[in-house]
């Protein structure tokens, strides 16, 4: 049985003047112990998906208009805020994008980790203190620094504290939203290695949101490529990195990064800009930027076609190659 199953999820940000369609009918699952990577440009809907799972959409404007988010067989969208608070932090943890804005500047690092333990465990004061020391040691920070404040730590160490908070209760699912974006390359490698080691230790599944295909190749089992609130390609890491057939958007992402095996004077970035979520194009959402676009693409939404076992592509090109039905 899958740990997390998202079915036909639609999310909007609604104001007095406009409705931004951030997530448009996505479905995916995460099995126990599995790592799923979400990849796409800024504005693709990756973080909105994560916030929907956590029940942290902005209350005034964020709205799940349709779909299900089933965690351990329970639809999270049907739970009250009090019920979600019991799950959030204990069974599902989240590493937020910017550690400096995620941490409270007026609280010591140790007290911020302890806060999670006070709410979700029955440890006494000594047990909480010992667990805080254990978590700090796990993420490579001396417990002697637990009484210091966020501004006294480097960016990499703050990120380690955020990870310690997220894993404090050994959650079954860990959502990592751009966990290494603000870090230099050396620290990125250390944090990724630490996350992978911690995942094995506490036997958790991970949903990793990133722009970096290198991170996906290193730590993920499966990959979902997102564009304009839709999953346009889904498969294993081998399917995405070694497969012969891809969605044009996936091809564009790979064309935007250097390849040391080829001698290229220029990269081949995707032309144009991400579509406006308040004014999405008819038909295929990628068609305004796609070099393969035809009249059919401008008027019809493509189905998902299985090009190999477990590898799906949302594009008419995949249908012509496979002869499948969406």
Summary mean pLDDT of the chain: 89
Number of H helices, E strands in the chain: 12, 12
Given CATH 3.40.50.300, say whether it is the number of domain 1-91+169-326.
yes
pLDDT at residue 180 greater than cutoff 80: no
Q: How far is CA 309 from CA 85, 239, 244, 305, 319, in A?
A: 38, 10, 14, 10, 15
Closest CA relative to residue 235, chosen from 314, 180, 316: 314
Q: What is the pLDDT of residues 304-326, one digit of tens each?
A: 999 999 999 999 888 766 555 44
Find out whether 155 and 162 touch, Cβ atoms under 8 Å: no
Evaluate if residue 121 carries a pLDDT over 50.
Answer: yes
Q: Are 291 and 270 in contact (CB under 8 A)?
A: no
pLDDT for position 78 = 96
- Residue 326: the pLDDT is 44
Mean predicted confidence (pLDDT) in 246-268: 78
Residue 325 is predicted with a pLDDT of 47
Q: Where is average pLDDT lowest: 141-150, 177-186, 306-315?
A: 177-186
Instruction: Quickly tell me which residue has 């090009």 as its tokens.
Output: 307
Where along the chain do its domains lie?
1-91+169-326
pLDDT (tens digit, 9 = 90+) per residue, 188-232? 777 788 778 877 887 889 999 988 888 888 889 999 999 999 999
Assign 261 a pLDDT band (cuts: 50, 70, 90).
low
CB 44 within 8 A of CB 56: no
pLDDT band, residue 260 (cuts 50/70/90) = low
Nearest to 224 by CA among 51, 42, 46: 46
- Token pair belonging to 289: 């930027």
Give 169-181 as a DSSP string: T--SEEEEESTTT
- The tens digit of pLDDT for each residue in 19-63 reads 999 999 999 999 998 999 999 998 899 999 999 999 999 988 999
pTM for the full predicted model: 0.89
Q: Does the pLDDT of residue 271 top 80, yes or no?
A: yes
Within 8 A by CB and 6+ apart from 228, the residues are 24, 43, 44, 45, 274, 275, 277, 280, 285, 286
Extended strands (E) in the chain = 4-14, 19-30, 35-39, 62-71, 74-75, 92-95, 173-177, 205-210, 222-227, 230-236, 305-308, 311-313
Task: Map tokens 């404007």 to a residue.
Answer: 61
């Amino acid at each position: 049985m899958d740990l997390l199953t998202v079915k036909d999820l639609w999310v909007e940000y609604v104001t007095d003047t406009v409705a931004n369609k951030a997530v448009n009918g996505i479905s995916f699952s995460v099995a126990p112990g599995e790592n799923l990577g979400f990849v796409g440009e800024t504005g693709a809907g990756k973080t909105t998906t994560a916030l929907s799972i956590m029940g942290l959409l902005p209350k005034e404007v964020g709205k799940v208009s349709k779909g299900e988010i089933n965690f351990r067989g329970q639809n999270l969208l049907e739970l009250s805020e009090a019920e979600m608070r019991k799950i959030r932090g204990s069974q599902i943890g989240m590493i937020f994008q910017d550690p400096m804005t995620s941490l409270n500047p007026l609280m010591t690092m140790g007290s911020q980790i302890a806060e999670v333990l006070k709410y979700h465990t029955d440890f006494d004061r000594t047990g909480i203190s010992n667990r805080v020391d254990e978590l700090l040691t796990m993420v490579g920070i001396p417990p002697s620094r637990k009484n210091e404040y966020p501004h006294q730590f480097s960016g990499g160490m703050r990120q380690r504290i955020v990870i310690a908070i997220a894993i404090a209760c050994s959650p079954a699912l860990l959502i990592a939203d751009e966990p290494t974006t603000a870090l230099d390359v050396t620290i990125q490698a250390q944090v990724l290695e630490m996350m992978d080691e911690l995942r094995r230790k506490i036997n958790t599944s991970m949903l990793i949101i990133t722009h970096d295909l290198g991170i996906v190749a290193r730590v993920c089992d499966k990959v979902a490529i997102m564009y304009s609130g839709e999953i346009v390609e889904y498969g294993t890491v081998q399917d995405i990195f070694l497969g012969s057939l891809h969605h044009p958007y996936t091809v564009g992402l790979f064309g935007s990064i250097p390849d040391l095996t080829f001698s290229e004077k220029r990269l081949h970035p995707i032309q144009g800009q991400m579509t406006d979520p308040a004014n999405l194009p008819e038909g295929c959402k990628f068609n305004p930027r796609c070099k393969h676009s035809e009249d059919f693409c401008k008027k019809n939404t493509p189905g998902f076609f299985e090009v190999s076992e477990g590898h799906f592509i949302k594009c008419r090109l995949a249908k012509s190659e496979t002869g499948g039905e969406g």
